[in-house]
Chains A and B, each alone.
Chain A
Amino acid sequence: NKVKIRGLSPAGQRSYHNGSVLIGVDLSTLNTDGTTFRCRDGSKTIPFSQVNDDFCDCESDGSDEPGTNACPNGKFYCRNIGSVGKTVFSSRVGDGICDCCDGSDEKLNPNSKCKNTCQADAREANKGRQQELDITLKGLSIKKEYIAKAERELREKRASISQIEEEVSKLRHKREEETATRDRLQKEEEEARAALQPAETVTPPPPTPVEEQPASDEQLEEFAEEGEYEEEESAEAEYKPSPSPPTHHAEDERLQPYVEATRKQREVVGDLDRQISEKERSLEDIKKAISQTYGHQNAFYGLLGNCYHADTPEYTYELCPFDKVNQNSKRGGGSTNLGTWSDSDQTDEWKSHQRQMRYTNGLRCWGGPDRSAIVNVLCGSDNVLSNPQEPNKCEYHLNFHTPAACSEEHAQFLRMELSGGSHEEEEDPEAVPVAKGWGLF
């Protein structure tokens, strides 16, 4: 009494035969005469002869017509023996288009020209899988190098931190000493100047020089370039650039040694400041570099500092991973920033799977948003940027193939697919590729 229902997946068939927990079957009648069928959602019970009779009785869920197109909301399962079974919308059944490699969706269509291509499809698919596997394996071997390099360099970087920090602290200590010396010399100079002052009362105090402005600007720029500067330095900056007031010739000669000593000492302190900020800057760089997420095992670290290019007729697109994406005009229109990397902008697609990088806050579009770029990260045996698109105004999509994105799991999956061949009959209900909630099939 085995009944085969056209258009049902093996899981669906089995559930029916077993009279198990699945609905779609009126359990009360199944074992006696099997003459009725209850719609999956329980909305209706119909004679079993109306299953797959090309009339939709279960209008709310389409469950009585898994093998025809009578229900607008139904699904059809193609067994595709020799290849992989799949579920298609019932709208595809008998519409003249071959959706299943076994031609089962068009089997009842007298005009169907569908041939069984499952074997060829499977061969083709295997060929594709083999190629993909080769690429993946090649990528994985390169990835290993990336990981090793990342481990080595990141370890070195981490190690260098304490070393540099120690150097900085030494320099700071030295700077304190030298600053004290400078302050002392300054004081001596002032005292010497004060000692000479009473004799010179006739000389009016020099007007506050206005021309100090340019020097001050230069100074500020220099500081700005070096990054932040401390309060103390800022205070110093205020008087440092003041040019010596015009002084009496005789006074000059007597003060000269003091002035000279102070000047030299200031240079010493300034030199130390520069050294400190240089060290601090490199420390910051290192800290930033090691704080980034380079993906699982830091495999993507190896891409740092490199840039990759993709061409369209009008532009060359440039991806510098963990830095920026640019669009460079081929007609001499210059370069446009499409976005820069920020760890905090990354979505789960990057954080957990390393599938998608986001580059944000690019150059603002005229009348639109800031440009941004999404880079789809794919496994490759080489680092290749490709397929630049602008699906929405000023929102760019690129594909980036890199060994860093190859995974052992995927290689394993491909190997399994290649060795397994057709394993349709072995599928358990949970694994049947059907829409959620489609219990029967």
Chain B
Amino acid sequence: VDRGKYKTCSQSSFCTRNRGVTHDGYHIANLHRKSDSQFTADFVSPYLQGRSLTFELTGLLDNTVRVRVVESLPKRYQGPLEVLEPLQEAKLSEKQKSSESTEFTLNSHVTVRIDFYYDGRHTLSANANDFLNFEHLRSKEEDDKIVPSQIPNDEATQPEDYNEAESGPWQRPTKENPKKSGRWEEHFGGHQDTKPNGPTSISMDITFIGSRYVYGIPEHASSLALTPTIRVGDANEREQVTDPYRHYNLDVFEYELNNPMALYGAVPFMIGHGAHGSSAVFWLNSAETWIDVETTTKDASGREKVGTQWISESGNMDIFFIIGPSGHDVLRQYAALTGTTALPPQFTLGYHQCKWNYKDETDVANVDSGFDSHDIPYDVIWLDIEHTDSKKYFTWDQNYFPTPKNMQEKIGDKGRRMVTIVDPHIKREGGYHVHSQAESNNYYVKNKDKNDYDGHCWPGSSSWVDYLKENARDWWEQLFSYYNYQGSTPRLYTWNDMNEPSVFNGPETTMNKDALHLDGVVEHRDVHNLYGMTMVNATARGLIRRHADQNERPFVLSRAFFAGIQKHGAIWTGDNTAGWDHLAVAQPMLLSLGLAGVAFSGADVGGFFGNPDAELVTRWYQAAAFQPFFRGHAHLDSKRREPWLFGEPYTSVIRDAIKSRYQHLPLWYTLFYKNTLTGLPPMRPLFLEFPSEEKIWNNQDQFLVGRELMVVPVTRSQQTTSRVVFPGAQKWYDITDGSSHAGGTEEEVNVPLEKYLVYQQGGTVVPKRERARRTSQHMDTDPFTLQIAVSREGTAEGELYVDDGHTFDFKKGVYSYNQIKLENGNLTYKTLGGVYESQLLIEKIVVYGLSSAPSSVTTVSNEKLDFSYRNGKLVIRKPNLPATREWSLQIKA
């Protein structure tokens, strides 16, 4: 990466004005209870020059408290409130007066400080370090009048390393160097940011009490347990180790690993975890944001704590304090705020094949038939930017794709789909219908002078659709109709790339902050991190609206994202590289995304840039087959790498990995359905399921699929053994050979090339479809296998979710969600929700972990079932029980 192209905190005026800078004197006045769930007050400070802002403290259902500080002026961006689900308020109590499970104390004698409690236990603090700051709107003249001496204790509160030469928070801009102050104008990389509204930043420190680690705030190519950016010493002295984590959606060319630089997306949600469980914070702000994470320290009572500081360039302060107390709780609580993952169409959980670029219709046909002739299943073939006529989206290159409908029908006949790319930059070319409509109807983002923003991207001179505008959004949605998108069919889905937005000649390769949305009402600065998601939202709606009955689930893959993206589409980790370190980093990156609600995510298999060798690509397939979004992709300059191009033994090993993915589709689909109920991501870090096992709190080498499977990918070249931690108390069963490992142990396991380490936890049920098919669609009527691993107590529990796989009928109750439970030799299949008429059967039940062969397996009607028992593995043969109706079996010892 060219680091010089991207800002550091010290090159960002508002970051410097706030990072580690204390401001005592912000306090609240006239606190009163407005309702059972809400307290309001005036937010006052000498810094605010006589203005008073509104302070609100609102209790929300399920142990969540929202704190807002609002300056209600038109120039101040009031959002992004559209990402929030309808919120339900709940009674909120001050600690002294009640014994509710969620409580707070508000201390505001000199400086406001809020402490949050669960069941009397302190979990979170706001402004314990006095980093709170709110730069209210002011005129340039007013700002010029602000003199440091007018601010109480200003000198005293400056940190030791405070440098007068740098623009301090309340330093009058020096006449000699107005640019340097950065309050009303800023320069970077030859670009000017005019900042007509002056300084508008906000900052707050939040302490996670009782946490050893904090997690989340994707997207960074960083560790799962976030590496501290501030070292706190014994005497509480603070030393900056690196820049803070940055949230500013950027198209970073050849991104580096293990640093806090910004990437393509931003979810300002952080979870803390420690001995007493988890708590979390959602910082609802779509402007550029910097987040410091301190090293773990201990409070007076010896509890571990992690301090953080959050700094945003503009917008109001809108913070959700999520009290937990467990990891499962905070994920449900966060899902209540921003929503759960839209249930993906079943086919999207299969394997996707992409390359920049499949050149023409023959190329597509050849790749498609290559999968068939090598007996490798796949569901979707993708076309990158070259498929268009001169990068004009919604068009086809007539020379290379003369019959796109025919092409889609051909692959559709085999049960497959296609995805084409649609980016937000619109080529400024006369006669291009998308451009002329956008231009004449004022759908484009404006520059600071209120002309259409004109920048450089793939097509050359381009403008960007302003998806914040309702009419622009509506128009965009209609572009996906079969009439407007000539050559599209119901088999075609969409990929939104470059939507950070990427602007080749813009500052930091993105849009100027002083560009304008909503006809000049909102600065791009305020909504930068939100922009990409507004596009994905409109695209997904467009794919729904193209069907008359609006009953088909959409699929959109996006590179940029913000909190709530899970409601609209999947994301991938952008332009990674064909290297072992990038294979390894995919795990912490995807786990962090899942913890931040973004459950449907993946990394390009093989690595986008460069050429992986056969071993790397094979190991990558083995890992990614157990990660949520599973797509092979490669750069224009990279060599072809369709799964069969590496020869034996690699082709066979890759085939096994992809087939294994398909066999586990019922588990994946069930886990995605469960996400809609619980907010739990299918791909989980170990600490989420084993929260009290300290040594795995920061484990990112292994991960879980649900609580059922544990995956230990091989991420080093020539690796022959893997050190595996088996957490918990239950046995872990190797899904490839049935061998078991005791929980609470660590083992060195052999990993020859063909071996992938996936273990099923004792006490769980994995629903599978074991028959091989060329696509997921062809599995729709195949019978299921229930793979049960019993617990030490001889029990097991799991679920199977079934619906039609592609419509919204499940929202009307047309589905079948079932619980499978083994207890005292009784295996019961009970419907938890929905009604779905089907002929679907369970063809096989496998039980691992029984100590001896049963004497009989019988149905309720006393029918004896065929079974075999060998090496601890019981196979019940052809029980042919219904998958969408209730039943039970008796397994007699």
Contacts and interface: CB of A to CB of B under 8 A. Distances in A.
A393 interface: yes
Contacts of A237: none
Contacts of A149: none
Contacts of B886: none
Interface string A369-404: 000000000000000000001111101000000000
A390 B640 contact: no
B375 interface: yes
16 contacts: A53-B878, A55-B844, A56-B770, A72-B659, A72-B770, A72-B772, A89-B375, A89-B772, A91-B375, A91-B377, A92-B774, A96-B778, A97-B415, A367-B637, A389-B359, A393-B638
Given A73-B772, A95-B415, 7 more contacts: A55-B843, A72-B771, A91-B778, A96-B778, A313-B399, A393-B639, A395-B639
Nearest to B775: A95
B805 to A, nearest CB: 15
A69 interface: yes
A70 B771 contact: yes
A50 B415 CA distance: 31
B373 to A, nearest CB: 9
A229 to B, nearest CB: 44
Given A89-B375, A96-B778, A392 B771 contact: no
> Can you list the 5 inter-chain pairs with the closest CB atoms, starting with the nearest?
A72-B772, A313-B399, A91-B772, A95-B778, A393-B637
Contacts of A389: 359, 363
A71 B877 CA distance: 14
Contact of A392 (B640, B659, B663, B878): B640
Interface of A: 53-57, 69-73, 89-92, 95-97, 312-314, 367-368, 389-393, 395
A56 B843 CA distance: 10
B127 to A, nearest CB: 51
B594 to A, nearest CB: 29
Nearest to B659: A72
B754 to A, nearest CB: 14
A336 to B, nearest CB: 17
Contacts of B844: 55
Contacts of A367: 637
A95 B659 CA distance: 16
Contacts of B640: 391-392
B473 interface: no
B116 to A, nearest CB: 52
Contacts of A312: 399
Interface residues of B, number: 25
Interface in B619-675: 636-640, 659, 663
Given A72-B663, A91-B375, A313-B399, A393 B636 contact: yes
B773 interface: yes
Interface in B725-779: 770-774, 778
A286 B844 CA distance: 75
A97 B416 CA distance: 12
Contact of B413 (A56, A70, A97): A97
Contacts of A97: 413-415, 774
Contacts of B638: 393
B359 A91 contact: no
Contacts of B659: 72
A365 to B, nearest CB: 8
A122 to B, nearest CB: 22
A49 B359 CA distance: 51
Contacts of B774: 91-92, 95, 97
A126 B687 CA distance: 66
Nearest to A366: B637
A160 B663 CA distance: 71
Contact of B773 (A91, A314, A390, A392): A91
B17 to A, nearest CB: 42
Contacts of A90: 772
A380 B843 CA distance: 54
Contacts of A57: 877
A69 B637 contact: no
Nearest to B375: A89
Interface in B324-376: 359, 363, 375
A86 to B, nearest CB: 12
A92 to B, nearest CB: 7
A74 B320 CA distance: 55
A233 B52 CA distance: 99
Contact of A95 (B773, B877, B878): B773
A95 B414 CA distance: 9
Nearest to A111: B781
A95 B782 CA distance: 10
Interface in B376-421: 377, 399, 413-415
Nearest to B844: A55
B874 to A, nearest CB: 14
A92 B659 CA distance: 14
A55 B877 contact: yes
A220 to B, nearest CB: 41
Nearest to A72: B772
Contacts of A55: 843-844, 877-878
Interface in B841-888: 843-844, 877-878
Nearest to B639: A392
B771 A91 contact: yes
A73 B770 CA distance: 10
A160 B654 CA distance: 59
Nearest to B870: A44
A313 B399 CA distance: 7
A30 to B, nearest CB: 22
Which one of A72, A389, A391, A392 has the highest number of Cβ atoms from chain B below 10 Å of its Cβ? A72
Nearest to A365: B637
A92 B771 CA distance: 11
B774 to A, nearest CB: 6
A331 to B, nearest CB: 13
A183 to B, nearest CB: 62
A251 B363 CA distance: 83
A53 B880 CA distance: 13
Contacts of B399: 312-314
B552 to A, nearest CB: 20
A194 to B, nearest CB: 71
A70 B770 CA distance: 8
Contacts of B639: 392-393, 395
A238 to B, nearest CB: 51
Contacts of B843: 54-55, 70
B887 to A, nearest CB: 18
A65 to B, nearest CB: 10
Contacts of A395: 639
A219 B722 CA distance: 70
Nearest to B635: A393
A89 B374 CA distance: 9
A97 B778 CA distance: 10
Nearest to A68: B771
B802 to A, nearest CB: 19
Contacts of A391: 363, 640
Nearest to A57: B877
